[in-house]
Amino acid sequence: MAFNKENFKKIREIYDGKWKKAELEADARRAELQAKIPEIAKLDRAIADVGLRGVYATIGGGEDAPKRIKMLEEESLSLQEARAALLREYGYPEDYTSVRYECSTCSDTGYVEGKMCNCMRMALIMEGYRSSGIARLLQSQTFETFSLDYYKSNSRAYDRMKQNFEIAKRFAFDFEGENSGNLLMLGGTGLGKTHLSTAIAKTVIDRGFDVLYVSVMDMVSDFEQERFGNGYSNTQADISKYFECELLILDDLGTEVANQFTVSTLYNVINTRLSKNLSTIISTNLNSKDLRDRYWDRITSRLFGEYTPLVFEGTDIRLQKLKI
Ligand SMILES: Nc1ncnc2c1ncn2[C@@H]1O[C@H](COP(=O)(O)OP(=O)(O)OP(=O)(O)O)[C@@H](O)[C@H]1O
Ligand SMILES: [Mg+2]
Ligand SMILES: [Zn+2]
């Protein structure tokens, strides 16, 4: 399991900023208070001094150390009570100068006893949604909202879609990063290919893997930009992500312009990912004959040999939803 490296770096930076900010803000509140109420400054110094003497007593040891430590603890407690009373008197909450972390479990460090805190895991997942390229769809197109009822009018379509649904769920929940297989979703418009691949993406991101979702057209345009520039600036697109993410979902194969460059780009991505045992899901409206006509044999033989085919059947669900 590997979170996207860029996302991890970004979240780590946010977390570093978070606990520092919480501590600086507490320092600022303390300074404000000490300026306003000079007795507080005196008490703060006395509390710090008792604390320091406690540390020395602990380090120094000796027979009477436990007794001295206990006395210092009592002294500290009574100083703190005096401080709290003073704060109340001036109308401040007692914890006014405590550090306020967003997460009290990990004090905004992101880790508890060497393990990643849930808050940081959630932050990475949210960042994973964003970097997947389909943050909005991930909310609505899930396994829970995928209904087999739309295929009920045709029993063959229903059986097939039920099987596709099961295969998609198994793929997502068994996904292990490397060696998790590939899917080829074939079928007409509005039958749920994008919905089901989005549902897979969400589950796989939630399980901590790095997922990238893109239409073939957009991917090809990134490769074009990387190769030829975009004509306006010399910013280069980052194409390494297509070879590195743990799951790449390529939607709408066949809608890109077919030329030597796009086909060789596609071959390069499909072939490199297969050789690295990284999973890819491809969806297309083309049938197997169209695919053979349009792409090199080197591509189609890989698609038919190494990808599990899911054939989508039924009647356009976009239209069914309009009628309801
Ligand atoms: N089984 C389903 N249950 C609920 N909603 C569905 C189902 N299948 C598809 N939909 C919805 O119908 C619409 C079209 O589905 P989707 O975009 O997945 O089709 P598609 O097969 O990708 O079509 P296209 O080939 O045109 O891209 C979406 O809003 C989707 O959420
Ligand atoms: Mg689609
Ligand atoms: Zn936390």
pLDDT digits (tens, 9 = 90+) for 140-178: 999 999 999 999 999 999 999 999 999 999 999 999 999
User: What class is the 133-323 domain?
Assistant: alpha beta
pTM: 0.81
For ligand 1, what atom is nearest to the CA of residue 191? 21
Share above pLDDT 70 across residues of the chain, in percent, rounded to a whole number: 97
Q: Is the pLDDT of residue 236 over 80?
A: no
Contacts of 14 (CB under 8 A, 6+ apart): 123
* 12 CA to centre of ligand 1 in angstroms: 36
Query: CA–CA distance from 93 to each of 27, 37, 90 (Å)?
Result: 16, 14, 9
Cα 169 off chain centre by: 19
Q: What is the DSSP string of 260-274?
A: HHHHHHHHHHHHHHH
Per-residue pLDDT, 232: 64
Q: How far away, in angstroms, is 102 Cα from ligand 3 center?
A: 8
220-232 average pLDDT score: 83
Taking the CA of residue 252 as reference, the ligand 1 atom at the shortest distance is 27
Q: In what order do the strands lie in the sheet with 308-311?
A: 211-215, 247-253, 279-284, 183-186, 308-311
Please tell me if the CB atom of residue 58 comes closer than 6 angstroms to any atom of ligand 1: no
Distance between CA atoms of 107 and 34, rounded to whole angstroms?
25
Ligand 1 atom, smallest distance to 185 CA:
21
Going by C-alpha positions, the residue among 258, 255, 256, 265 that lies closest to residue 227 is 265
Asked if 247 contacts 279 with a C-beta cutoff of 8 angstroms, the reply is yes
- The protein residue with its alpha carbon nearest to ligand 1, atom 14, reads 190
Mean pLDDT of the chain: 93
What ranges in 154-211 are assigned the alpha helix state H?
Answer: 155-174, 193-206
- Model confidence at 138: pLDDT above 70: yes
> Nearest CA to 18 among 130, 82, 107?
107
45 and 38 Cβ atoms separated by less than 8 Å: no
Location of each CATH 3.40.50.300 domain in the chain: 133-323
Closest ligand, as measured to the CA of 142: 1
Which ligand 1 atom is at minimum distance from the Cα of 140? 31
- Answer whether 191 contacts ligand 1 (Cβ < 6 A): yes
Among the bound ligands, the one closest to the CA of 251:
2
Q: How confident is the model at residue 235 (pLDDT cuts 50, 70, 90)?
A: low
| pLDDT confidence band for 2 (50 / 70 / 90) | confident
| pLDDT at residue number 63 | 85
Pairing of strands 111-112, 115-116: antiparallel
**CA 271 to ligand 2 centroid distance, Å:** 23
pLDDT above 90 for 286: yes
% residues pLDDT > 90 (the chain): 84
Whether the per-residue pLDDT at 250 is higher than 60: the answer is yes
Q: Is 198 in the pocket of ligand 1 (CB under 6 A)?
A: no
